[in-house]
Homo-oligomer: A and B are copies of this chain.
């Protein structure tokens, strides 16, 4: 009887899509500030009108449902608008990492079959180099941000503002017919092979944005500073989450503590996100720049386990550090170091050690498990047994574009395989030990590179550290530490000092046998490039 006369209709069913958020915020908070960028301000009513213009202009330019529109830009209002205007015509946004080389960008434009490229002038030369190799280049629209101080000559057919003028600010705001429709395409960094195109959908974007708002208590009073690149998993869906609550975006062309500290105070920032390397940058900013915060700011960090010392120091500055973990394949954050009341009473160092755990699945994610990847059986929750982190739920990607084999492998056994190795603590919190490929196997023993790095970060003169496997005749592999010292310690602290410190603080077989000092190579999203360090270590 519950299956008769109770069907879906226009009144009781709507596809889940973050497009609904903007329509509501424009209606409810029309006069409130949606976007701040230097002296520019857009209200929600203005933002909505601009997004409708963009949707209309793209449609008039011939872009159709299921086609890709790419964007090459830093964290500016136009990239936010693209997150709404492009999906509003059923097209798919592909925000390209601006730190890639021309060949990688060319690969992405070709693979995604991008019909239009919105390109910030700062990256015009890079884009031109990429476009040169394409037989059928997309229509290029130039973005000339008034806050752009860098060189660069427009290369496109039209300027973005002129393009918007071709669109209708009253263009109908249409949800997709199905919530299981692609909304975004994001490319993985592809350290070993061609990048993979991660396809996400409206339903997942909606639910992940809701989860962010819920977990980090976003409200209409929230002010979000864009330190995390929007091209990184669509800014962990904060691009959409702010419109859900009617909060404000503060745009930022580059992550620079000299810009960030004044904005934190002046714009009344309440939230920001970033990789641990970004945290390090905030902590180690020159004393003239660094300031204790006027009010607590929620800082959500992920990308790799932030060393305890970094968490502790960031808290001392006044940030409330929240630790999440996820991947491009999971719309960004999938797990969170959920706060527990008993943790508040712990000494700072222990508390920081707790916070460093990747934790439990987020409220709107369905499940997390640490499994033996061969048997798909859970490892014991003993804080020691290593397994692979697996995730499932509505905030897991649709799959990899044009890559059914990789998609199938990623979803084998009904879980998404993260490729990350972790232990499960007795309280159900996972703690990452390494990427499958980053584990060091020495004399038959597994050594977690993260564990060695944790110890290195506790050394008072270490600013950044990374540990990789170095081939060794006797042991198979041994740990090799790459260390960036604080400026004052350079030339003072020696490799022997570092190794002695490690031996005093961990099992000897885990200690680095080799130490190299200097800057660490990083990916565009601030992750240390271990593959580059491994190559270096092989040459030693």
A residues with CB within 8 A of B? 1-14, 16, 20-21, 24, 27-30, 32, 66, 92, 113, 180-182, 199, 204, 210, 213-214, 217, 219-221, 244-245, 338-339, 341, 360-361, 363-364, 366, 391-394, 396-399, 401-404, 407, 410-411, 414-416, 428
Known contacts A2-B66, A392-B10, A392-B14, A363 near B416 by CB under 8 Å? no
Q: Are B220 and A214 in contact (CB-based, < 8 A)? A: no
Q: How far is the CB of A412 from chain B (nearest CB, A)?
A: 9
16 cross-chain CB contacts under 8 A = A1-B113, A1-B401, A5-B407, A9-B414, A12-B393, A12-B397, A12-B411, A13-B394, A14-B392, A20-B366, A21-B363, A24-B361, A27-B360, A210-B210, A214-B244, A214-B245
Please name all residues of chain B whose beta carbon is closer than 8 Å to the beta carbon of A2 when the two chains form the complex: 66, 92, 181-182, 199, 398, 401
Q: Are A11 and B396 in contact (CB-based, < 8 A)? A: yes
Q: Choose among A1, A2, A66, A199 the residue with the greatest number of B CB atoms under 10 Å from its CB.
A: A2
What secondary structure prevails in chain A residues at the interface with B? loop
Please name all residues of chain B whose beta carbon is closer than 8 Å to the beta carbon of A221 when the two chains form the complex: 341
Q: Are A428 and B12 in contact (CB-based, < 8 A)? A: no
Q: How far is the CB of A69 from chain B (nearest CB, A)?
A: 13
Q: Are A66 and B16 in contact (CB-based, < 8 A)? A: no
Q: How many copies does the complex hold?
A: 2
Known contacts A11-B396, A113-B1, A394-B14, A210 near B214 by CB under 8 Å? yes
Q: Choose among A13, A113, A404 the residue with the greatest number of B CB atoms under 10 Å from its CB.
A: A13
Please name all residues of chain B whose beta carbon is closer than 8 Å to the beta carbon of A11 when the two chains form the complex: 391-392, 396, 410-411, 414-416
Please name all residues of chain B whose beta carbon is closer than 8 Å to the beta carbon of A392 when the two chains form the complex: 10-12, 14
Alpha-carbon distance between A12 and B115 when the two chains are bound, in angstroms: 28
Alpha-carbon distance between A464 and B231 when the two chains are bound, in angstroms: 58
Closest Cβ neighbor of A112 among chain B residues: B1
Please name all residues of chain B whose beta carbon is closer than 8 Å to the beta carbon of A363 when the two chains form the complex: 21, 24, 244-245
Q: Are A16 and B404 in contact (CB-based, < 8 A)? A: no
